Chains A and B, each alone.
Chain A
């Protein structure tokens, strides 16, 4: 049984399977309704196994991970990787182009006009084009893993589910047992404990990007290599947790003038900038 598994049938109509674990530098919470205890345990084990697997696969600091191998050798030679990592890197390249370079898994690329690495489809090889480039897939992996768990939840016999990766990436299967959606509040950063925005998720995902809860700027603009000093938050809602994650990161880094055109590349997603004023009040700007 997964270590952080809990089952509750206090509400016999809607029994709850709940699993939580620390992974991917964040706290993961998965809530499913309508499963039996055995089904819930099975789901929890499989979800934990997959999340941990992706954590290893995409962790550049784990020297045994395929990503670490790429980072250590791709500057001097083309490094072959497995299908999943290659597909992930291809996807990242699509995102990089679609977001006008504001989402990038390559670090230390400030000032580069061209793609910092090449992907060879025939050999599944990765080769860096510039010295000093490293791949950091942290921003990709969380959304990717959440989509995988979302798929697993849909495949289970759960009536509904709410999946939370570190509060910044949330995905829903179906709706709350007593509502037409899962109501997810985004906390007001200027007045903790109060609501700045409420998302209604039903078979949808959302992602929030901004300063850390401790107030630090941490998102880097790939064009400049500098941390973006934006005080607002970006909330993106749509079908895929991965796309929502990518978009919220890119829109946070991108200047206002480019945000709308980035959003034009993605059908079925909405984005809102939320500004919490210290003097009180919340400003919501719909990007698309």
Chain B
């Protein structure tokens, strides 16, 4: 099921309005919104055509309403790779030059983290709609600067927090807001891999250029590259922002083979005003548990990655027979699913769980480029829609902003070995769902 099908299903049940009121950034997918941009062709430029940029290009080539007119990268082999998909596009090695191109209405920025803020601000100042990969910025000050720049100039700014557009997350959060799992009492996130997180380097002088993720001069490592995606789960589920953050990080394994200086082992706890804790753990020298994101409630648990709902309460007794009564009362006959092996009180650990929707594609989290069906394509579609309409979707930027701020704050807490709160100066208006 994709986002359109999800909204269509909501519509059939008379729930499309509810879904859109909860998650207004999905508006771009409504029938009305589609008509609004029908026949429009969006002209896009891409800054950064490495692995993530190419990942977006592979989605873009499937979209008839987009024309990539400009490509930019200061590493020639990457630029040439991208040019194969769009031979007509103008090629640049300086993003400032590309931003002068009036044909470019929107830009996609998929560059190293330390370049996100300056490039985003320059693009907004050049009047372009911007989709920048996450995290939003390399520092907390830069993130605020980007946010304020967007506020001042208006225009469209998307950050690559694709879970906000992933149908299974949307459905899960809707269920959580409806109270299906009761009161939220915990949020668990983890992301394990067992690889060195390196890209192949053709010559030693390109080490930092290509493997920028491994060096704190360009990136904040696991917190900005992985945690940022998962940290929005707590605020999305509870409509609150963490009041404090603590954590520990270390470099325990991969430093043996290179000179990296970002942690390869991190653990952070985010505490919300209501006392609920959200955890994030990442180790890249063991992959057994893969990627996990779970919202724990007083009545059950929703696993966001697998889109499964586990109840802490026994299976409803006799629900099939009760349906049967309703059928007879209404003068109809249809099948009631209720037979099976013996009913018995279940322990939650053994409860088999129920899928929250059909045709779910589960993402392992193993790829460091991106995965199909993780919401990236839907996010891109929403951005292209916004480029045409010029409308910034509600709330989505604030979610992305705080995901970045708390990823950076946790990284700071780890380095300072301290319990930290977000400074007042970084607080921007936040509307709970």
- Which residues of A are in contact with B by a Cβ distance under 8 Å? 8, 10-11, 13-14, 16, 18, 20, 25-27, 29, 31, 33, 162, 164, 166-168, 170, 176-179, 183-187, 189, 191-195, 198-199, 206, 208-216, 233
Inter-chain CA distance A179–B352, complex, in Å, is 33
Q: Is there contact, CB below 8 Å, between B350 and A214?
A: yes
Classify the interface of chain B: helix, strand, loop or mixed.
Answer: loop
| A214 with B325, Cβ < 8 A, contacts A164-B318, A183-B336, A186-B339 known | no
Q: Which 5 A-B pairs have the closest CB atoms?
A: A185-B337, A178-B333, A214-B350, A179-B333, A10-B329
Q: B333 — which chain A residues lie within 8 A by C-beta?
A: 176-179, 183
Q: Is there contact, CB below 8 Å, between B335 and A198?
A: yes
The residues in B between 359 and 389 inclusive whose CB is less than 8 angstroms from any CB of A are none
Q: A191 — which chain B residues lie within 8 A by C-beta?
A: 355
Q: A11 — which chain B residues lie within 8 A by C-beta?
A: 328-331
| A187 with B353, Cβ < 8 A, contacts A11-B329, A27-B318 known | no
User: Is B354 positioned at the interface, with any CB of A under 8 Å from its CB?
Assistant: yes
Q: Is there contact, CB below 8 Å, between B344 and A25?
A: yes
Q: Is there contact, CB below 8 Å, between A27 and B338?
A: no
Inter-chain CA distance A252–B29, complex, in Å, is 50
Q: Is there contact, CB below 8 Å, between A214 and B351?
A: yes
Q: A192 — which chain B residues lie within 8 A by C-beta?
A: 352-355
Inter-chain CA distance A11–B339, complex, in Å, is 25
Inter-chain CA distance A16–B322, complex, in Å, is 11
Q: Is there contact, CB below 8 Å, between B336 and A193?
A: no
Q: A233 — which chain B residues lie within 8 A by C-beta?
A: 340-341
Inter-chain CA distance A166–B342, complex, in Å, is 5
B317 interface neighbour in A25, A27, A184, Cβ under 8 Å: A27
Residue from B327, B340, B341 having most chain A Cβ neighbours under 10 A: B341
Q: How far is the CB of B71 from chain A (nearest CB, A)?
A: 40
| A167 with B341, Cβ < 8 A, contacts A16-B329, A29-B318, A178-B328 known | yes
Inter-chain CA distance A211–B344, complex, in Å, is 11
A-B contact pairs, 29 of them (CB 8 A): A8-B329, A11-B330, A13-B331, A14-B331, A16-B325, A16-B329, A18-B325, A20-B321, A27-B318, A27-B343, A33-B328, A162-B324, A164-B318, A164-B338, A164-B339, A167-B341, A170-B339, A178-B332, A179-B333, A183-B333, A184-B339, A185-B336, A186-B339, A187-B340, A192-B355, A212-B341, A212-B342, A213-B344, A214-B347
Inter-chain CA distance A18–B320, complex, in Å, is 13
**Cβ-closest chain B residue relative to A180:** B333
Inter-chain CA distance A33–B328, complex, in Å, is 9
Q: B329 — which chain A residues lie within 8 A by C-beta?
A: 8, 10-11, 16
A167 interface neighbour in B328, B330, B335, B338, Cβ under 8 Å: B338
Q: Is there contact, CB below 8 Å, between B318 and A214?
A: no
Inter-chain CA distance A164–B355, complex, in Å, is 26
How many residue pairs at the A-B interface have CB separations less than 8 Å?
A: 132
Q: How far is the CB of A265 from chain B (nearest CB, A)?
A: 24
Q: A178 — which chain B residues lie within 8 A by C-beta?
A: 327-328, 331-333
Q: A29 — which chain B residues lie within 8 A by C-beta?
A: 318, 321
User: Is B346 positioned at the interface, with any CB of A under 8 Å from its CB?
Assistant: yes
A189 interface neighbour in B328, B332, B340, Cβ under 8 Å: B340
Inter-chain CA distance A31–B338, complex, in Å, is 14
Q: Is there contact, CB below 8 Å, between A18 and B340?
A: no
Q: How far is the CB of B317 from chain A (nearest CB, A)?
A: 5
Q: A31 — which chain B residues lie within 8 A by C-beta?
A: 321, 324-325
Q: Is there contact, CB below 8 Å, between B337 and A213?
A: no
Inter-chain CA distance A208–B350, complex, in Å, is 20
Q: A170 — which chain B residues lie within 8 A by C-beta?
A: 339
User: Is B315 positioned at the interface, with any CB of A under 8 Å from its CB?
Assistant: yes
The residues in B between 283 and 328 inclusive whose CB is less than 8 angstroms from any CB of A are 315, 317-318, 320-321, 324-325, 327-328
Q: Is there contact, CB below 8 Å, between A208 and B324?
A: no
**Cβ-closest chain B residue relative to A25:** B344
Q: How far is the CB of A134 from chain B (nearest CB, A)?
A: 21
Q: Is there contact, CB below 8 Å, between B344 and A212?
A: yes
Q: Is there contact, CB below 8 Å, between B342 and A167?
A: yes
Q: Is there contact, CB below 8 Å, between A184 and B338?
A: yes
Inter-chain CA distance A176–B328, complex, in Å, is 8
Inter-chain CA distance A131–B330, complex, in Å, is 58
Q: Is there contact, CB below 8 Å, between B336 and A167?
A: no
**Cβ-closest chain B residue relative to A233:** B341
Q: B340 — which chain A residues lie within 8 A by C-beta?
A: 167-168, 186-187, 189, 208, 210, 213, 233
Inter-chain CA distance A198–B340, complex, in Å, is 11
Q: How far is the CB of B321 from chain A (nearest CB, A)?
A: 4
Q: Is there contact, CB below 8 Å, between B343 and A193?
A: no
Q: Is there contact, CB below 8 Å, between B342 and A26?
A: yes
